[in-house]
Structure 1
Amino acid sequence: MEKISLERNLKHWLMCVVVFVGATFAVNGLVAMNWVAMNWVAMNWVAMIGWEGGDAAFTDGPNRLPPGWVIGLVWTILFMGMASAFWLLASSEEAGTRRKAGEVLVFSLFCLSYPIFTMGFSIPFLVFGGNLLCIVWSSYLTGVLRDISHPASVLMLLPALWVCFATWGLVTPLG
């Protein structure tokens, strides 16, 4: 991350937030536009390899998930937090700290690609596997960043907490 030159000022922080949140909107827009095509591909792929449960209806309930607009709002806020953690690390004077910004960036790209590699949330195995990986990776980054930058560490804990709640909400039936 030595090639990225960010300063600790409002302009560079806003630049990071706009890029991260803009990428989130772009990917979610592509996912929404291609929802039918992705479901068709997912269903055929699941049928071809013989996996059961290739149906996005498992996310539709009855479960304890909040409404879709709340989930989108929370992820937008989480991406703002990840952008802030990236900015805090990338704008540091120390080379080791700047290298950790790359790990935050890769984790953010993983979170950004989540709707794509789960085929529009249509394959439960990939959804739960992705949730587990997100929780473990976010927790790892929280621990690694604790001694380097406490604010960045706290910001990287938030995705793990949200995904734990979302996974619980998905698997816990109402009633």
Structure 2
Amino acid sequence: MPGESQQTSGPLITPRTGLARQVSVLLGLLALSYTVSLLGSMAILGNASGWYATANKAPWTPPGWVFGSVWTVLYTAMAVASWLVWRQRSAKTRGAMTVYGIQMLLNLAWAPTFFGMYPVWGDAALWLAFLLIAALALAVTVTVILFGLINTTAGLLLLPYISWIVFSASLNLYAAANN
């Protein structure tokens, strides 16, 4: 009837649904994730054979190659999750993507703080890194919730990420307390 609002059950048909736009945004989000990964890796590689090689590490610390493998999968899942949320034309999308951006910045800040600042600041850098990773865990938790409210698959894709962050926080806490 005239004057009635129509409700749709799926995403609205918008320019966001064009295939070329979908692919370019997905590739952009993958590039963003891998750039954050690359920048973090630079701080790690620059110090992994230095102070960290002789540092007191948690007994549950996995071999170094595990970190690169896990992070590759996680950064890919993060990009796909953010793309799934971006695809939804929802009032909640902007807020969810803003929190996603905040957690990406916290993620980017952690490795240079933990690995790069230790030679200068000593254990204070490890405690600062622990505060960063705790804030990251909180931001990722909020991202999981917000993403999940918009797209269930996107929220689920981030669950391994929050699990890995909590695990990494335990490694950071051990290092801060024992070095």
For the aligned pair, the TM-score class normalised by the smaller chain equals 0.5 to 0.7
Show the 5 A alignment for 1:13-92.
13-29=26-42, 31-32=43-44, 35=47, 56=52, 60-61=56-57, 63-92=59-88
Structure 1 unaligned regions, length at least 5: 40-54
The answer to whether residue 153 in structure 2 is matched with residue 157 in structure 1 is no
For residues 91 and 148 of structure 1, the distance between their equivalents in structure 2, rounded to whole angstroms, comes to 10
Q: Which amino acid aligns with 1:17?
A: L
Equivalent position amino acid for 2:77 in 1: G
CA separation of 1:21 and 1:98: change in aligned 2, threshold 3 A: same
Aligned-residue identity in percent: 21
Q: d(CA) in 1 for partners of 2:58 and 2:106?
A: 28
Q: CA RMSD in A?
A: 3.1
Structure showing greater Rg: 2
The 10-residue stretch of structure 1 (6-15 or 65-74) with the greater mean CA deviation from structure 2: 6-15
Q: How far is 1:162 from its partner?
A: 0.6
Residue of structure 1 equivalent to 2:143 = 141
| Shift, 1:6, TM fit | 5.3
Describe the superposition over 1:49-97 as per-residue Cα deviations: whole angstroms up to 9, x where unpaired: xxxxxx6468553521112221122122211122112212222222432
1:34: how far off?
A: 5.2
Q: Deviations over 1:5-32 (max 9, x none)?
A: 8556344323321332133213422x25
User: Aligned equivalents of 1:58 and 1:131: distance in 2?
Assistant: 22
Contact 1:6–1:87 (Cα < 8 Å) also in 2: no
Q: Aligned to 2:98, which of 85, 98, 102?
A: 102
Task: Measure, in 2, the Cα distance between the counterparts of 1:152 and 1:127.
Answer: 27
- The aligned counterpart of 1:42 is none
Structure 2 match to 1:118: 114
Structure 2, unpaired ranges of 5+:
1-14, 119-124
Aligned residues: 150
CA distance in 1, matches of 2:115, 2:145: 31
User: Structure 1 pair 72/162, CA: closer, same or farther in 2 (3 Å)?
Assistant: same
